[in-house]
Structure 1
Amino acid sequence: MLARIKKVEKVLKAEKADVLLVVNNEGSGQPATSWLSGFTGSSSILLSTKTKRFLITDGRYISQSKKEVSDFVVLISSRENTTLQIVNRYLAKTSFSEILFDGGVTSYSEIEELQKNIPTALFVSKKNVLQELRAVKDTDEQDTLRKASDIACRSLHALIPRMSQGMTEKEIAKILESICSEEGGEGMSFPTIVASGRNGAFPHAKPTLKKIANGELVTIDFGVRYKGYVSDMTRTLAVGKISPRLKEIYEAVREAQELGCQKAKAGMTGAEIDAVCRDYLTKKGLGNYFTHSTGHGIGMEVHELPSISASAQVPLSAGSVITCEPGIYIPNVGGVRIEDALILTQKGSHNLTESVSKDLIHL
């Protein structure tokens, strides 16, 4: 945790702020709270200065906070001494003039309550400051993400032989989620996507009672939670024999995705990686059907920084973990998406989900 605390100290210095405030209100600021302090409870306020660190939570978490938190002083609130009162009292008796918070996580009403009691302090919002702190993963985080991805890969390998024509999308999703649990997953990263035939034209389709049928493609997008981190991967499979046109679309997406994986490395911008995949699909005449960004960061959340999109102009750092997931979605026809998770290095990347083949698998 000390290396992460050092990151906070650097941000405070760069922003000329005195303290970082992280409000964890029933989970809204939980990833940053856990990342900084180890505390996994759903309600707390964290204060981190250049020299002192406090975690304030309530009586539900006395034992949990003692077990999980080591580098922060833990203060327990009560009805008579609420969390906000403790924070107000601490901040009011210090000489802090600038308090930094993430406006994308902490609501204005929460800050307003603090401002009432500390009128001399300047509360400064910097959106995504917490995600920026977490964007580059240390070796422990990379190892955990690798294990989460391994669970997902093993689960998909186990699912494919159990899939057959006539099964519903919901049945497939339920079986996959059960396998993920058996393989060591601690829940799903997000609602599992199983989209067959025309449903594949919806990037975030929900599994339905539709039965998968001969001649269709089936897109499976899922991830597992493991020790506070998540995986994310997608494969598209063929049910029986598919048309030459669907095969052509699949191969174009596969080639674009593999090109993106091969080119991705630290120092590139998210926009440059996005362009690799997008330009290839445009040359194939499919650019108008690629309707989302090429990828995103993953870590404690399934969508976090860095962004892999046309507007992402910041050079990526080694240790960033991103997805590469171009997709094509044609209304009333279907869709294809292929997704891997990559750890970026100076020379390239390590693919966390490469053990599941991207050659078209026929059920």
Structure 2
Amino acid sequence: MPDKNTYPVQLVQPDGRRVFDRAHSALVEDVGRDRLRAMYLDMVVARRIDTEATALQRQGQLGLWPPLLGQEAAQIGSAHALLPDDYVFCSYREAGVAYCRGVPPEQITPLWRGIAHSCWDADEYKMTNPAIVVGAQGLHATGYAYAAHLEGAEIATIAYFGDGATSQGDIAEALGFAASWSAPVVFFCQNNHWAISAPVRVQSATPIAQRAVGYGIPSVQVDGNDALAVLAVTRQALARARSGGGPSFIEAITYRMGPHTTSDDPTRYRTAAELELWRQRDPIDRLRRLLEREGLWDSDFEQEAAVKSDEVAARLRSATLAMADPDPMELFDHVYATPHRLIEAERGEYAAYLEGVRP
């Protein structure tokens, strides 16, 4: 059944005050000073990764970058709910989740620099690489979750996607399969209000979370700029999956404060007033205000956050600039797990082309 809350779950208001919500607060009652600070640090670092990668693209060092500015609470809050054996199926914007899964900054940009088909070892970090095909990861997550269930593994999978992806057939098929076979998967929709230039109102005439109800999947809306609330509802959904309760759907209502990708100009389709409204709901500022209100903020911690984020950004930048162009023939490596006649033929044709010989 859908969550009974009329409004999205919220545990921290934009001014840092806590919200009385007995049911959801109980899910994060163990979250004290250390965890709150850790979440804040991860959010600051995620934003710094994003701004550094954006700058690298503007300087011609990356071919493309999909900014996550404004979505830090949705990513970090949900990532902190995951256990080491849980498996993440991401879209192309989850650099913050990747950082929380332990992916080193040095491994975040190879794909975006255009020197490799992927960035990191998916098995090592239990997280897939950026998926450019919109919505495909929903099917991948569902299949993996069902296979894990058949093998008796008590894990959950989580599929991240945006509001625009809910208009793709892949997500609809994934919801149907997951519901029919009780796959232990959490569908995590980051509703950032814009599918490139299409506003969310043209994606769905009803709240996106309600789409899952038609499949018999429990759903909930959460304030996606409230890291604590996101942590609570994601913990609940993941626990349900691990215990055999089947799939869940989370709609984290947030906002993309930057462009869709660095090739996009958001000023062409949204107003400055709308952007300013959401800047006042900045997820990092909100968590900082909570820390300040509860006496968990001091100048030393502020300095620690600045130093940590600068260190990560420096590692990302230096590693990106040091990435050498690969041998052109590597384009055909790792396309298939076993030799393939078509790939071998194309490899030969391309080698001849590089030698200046027409095929």
Higher relative strand content: 1
Verify same fold: TM over 0.5: no
The structure with the larger Rg is: 1
TM-score computed with the length of structure 2 as normaliser: 0.22
Question: Relative CO higher for 1 or 2, CA cutoff 8 Å, sep ≥ 6?
Answer: 2
TM-score computed with the length of structure 1 as normaliser: 0.22
Higher relative helix content: 2
